[in-house]
Amino acid sequence: MATPVKMPEIGESVTEGTITRWLKQEGDRVEADEPLFEISTDKVDTEVPSPVSGVLKTIKVREDETVQVGAELAEIEQDGDAQEDGEAGEAASDGGEQAEAGEDETAQEAAEPEGGDEEAAEPEQREAVAEAAPEEDGGGAEEEGGAEEGEEAQPAAKAEGGDGGVTVVTMPEIGESVTEGTITRWLKQEGDRVEADEPLFEISTDKVDTEVPSPAAGVLTAIKAQEDETVQVGAELAEISGEGAAKGKPAAEKPASAKKETPAAAEREKAPAKAAEPSREAPAGDGQAGDGQPGSVVSPLVRRLAREHDVDLSQVKGSGSGGRVRREDVEAYLEQRGKEPAPARQPAAAGDGKAAAVAAPAAKQPAPVPLAKGVREEVTPFPRLRRIIAERMVGSLQTSAQLTAAVEIDMTNVMRLRERAKEDFKKREGVSLSPLPFSIQAVIAAIRTYPNANSALDQDMNLHVYQDVNMGIAVDTSKGLFVPVIRNADQLNLSGLARAIADVAKRTRDGKVDPGELSGSTFTVTNTGSVGTVWDTPIINQPNAAIFATPAIVKRPVVVDDPELGEIIAVRHMMYGIITYDHRILDGADAARFLQRVKEVLEAADFAGELGLSREDAGG
């Protein structure tokens, strides 16, 4: 039996990925945990291993195609256990039908990813599924015989097996720290038919908005959590009756929770032939094809992009399966709209049974800036990662009120200490001692004094002041800017910070950082001085309240107050300490006090003691 290979969940907030390369081709043999294909997301590029051993039978998604988490990418004809168990079942059975059922069940078990490789596992929302899935063994006899006698009680029961059993849909776990989610929209209604892995509903958490697929095929008989309702992980959301229960069932025998007639259900009563097709009707005003016009289901990512750019998705031609509108379609539409004004939506024709809509004027778009003409040029597509970085930077500026402030910091004592200790430190710790861990330790000290700098503002204008410091470190790589996170950085000493910085920076540049390490920061530091910048105005890494920049440390003459000579001019190691802060959370005076605390620690703290040196040994 063929085992499906699905798009894995790579990190908490990742909803889609691009297949960059297949490492095996159709007909090739592949071993379990052997790299099968490469994917690229907005967080990481990585290889994904095969969940089972066998022959790659079918590739369903081609290279450079972007797919949602959970989408079926390929099929592997599994060998070994499935055939052996199928033969054993046939030998123990008097009928061929039982042997086939046993073989199918064994293949389903073998289809689950082996080992502990999280990248190969199916998304967590797939795991929060039914307490019992309908068995296929003996189903044909029940359909024709006694299925009708017990049908009335089956939808209310959580059947352990048998044709027509009930699958309970529960709230999936989306990420480690997510304990609850809000049902934003049901994509199916009671009475609708749903296929396995077809999008069933949408949820919103504090980390991600995503679609959740159906764990089984059947009829959605009960919805237990309504839209805009917040539920805990594991809570029961709905019930799906299995294949048998959906056949020949009178409408009057539906459970009470399913008696409310929906347009989709009414249509199916009139035309049963349409019941097997997934519902494609989208309510108006939900970010999909509106005004009652049919439209394909789109991902939260596409809807968010449409909202941000005021795009009517009914005007966008979808290139996905069944006309599904993908992100690339919206981007292409936006590019075309930059050349031509968007057409106004036409009012409905009179006499069609719908209220005539007033044609709204097209949103006024800024006129595109003309490109230079008559110069030599090379035109290349903007890289995907750069597009993502661009969207996030612009989005950050549109989200928070950002101001930048700076102080001058005398880093002479730090630089002298570093020069004195760096060789022994490298031998002892195995990493270089740069000025960055000193700056981060000073920032952590300032956060302890002014905790609002280590906070975030949610959409309901609630301020989340974090007790732990998860420090984001901006890392420059050949592919672009990434921000891995050092969790509980406030629990590390100077040596621990140096090791942690070196570790995440190296793994990020090598493409080996775990996707989960690229989210969850509470404060961010960017070391622009590593490439010689002496001044910077960094953009906040959302949803942080602030970002601190450490530009280059340079020698220059400054006025210093000597206890014996008074004010003198001396050559010192100077650095600007720069903070960009969210003015909604911090006032200018708050930012200034924060910077003064950072300055105080860097200029006067006893870092020598942390390194096992006295001030005299350090040359202070």
What is the rounded (10 degree) CA torsion for 94, 96, 102, 103? 140
User: Which DSSP symbol is given to 468?
Assistant: S
> Could you tell me the end-to-end alpha-carbon distance of the chain, in angstroms, rounded to an integer?
73
- The SS3 call for residue 89 is helix
CA 236/CA 2 separation, integer angstroms? 31
Q: Which of 228, 424, 468, 587 is catalytic?
A: 587
H/E stretch holding 547: strand 546-549
- The SS3 call for residue 578 is strand
477 alpha carbon, distance to own chain's centre: 21
CA 492/CA 155 separation, integer angstroms? 55
Least Cα distance to 418 among 276, 563, 611, 565 occurs for 611
CB atoms within 10 A of CB 71: 19
CA 539/CA 331 separation, integer angstroms? 24
Nearest 5°: the CA angle 46, 52, 53 is 110
Q: Which of 28, 468, 583, 617 is catalytic?
A: 583
583 is catalytic: yes
Pair of tokens at residue 231 = 């539920």
- CA distances to 107, 209, 211 from 68, rounded to whole Å, are 25, 13, 9
H/E stretch holding 428: helix 412-429
Residue 79 sits at φ, ψ, to 5 deg, of -115, 170
309 is catalytic: no
Pair of tokens at residue 507 = 């793994």
Catalytic residues: 583, 587
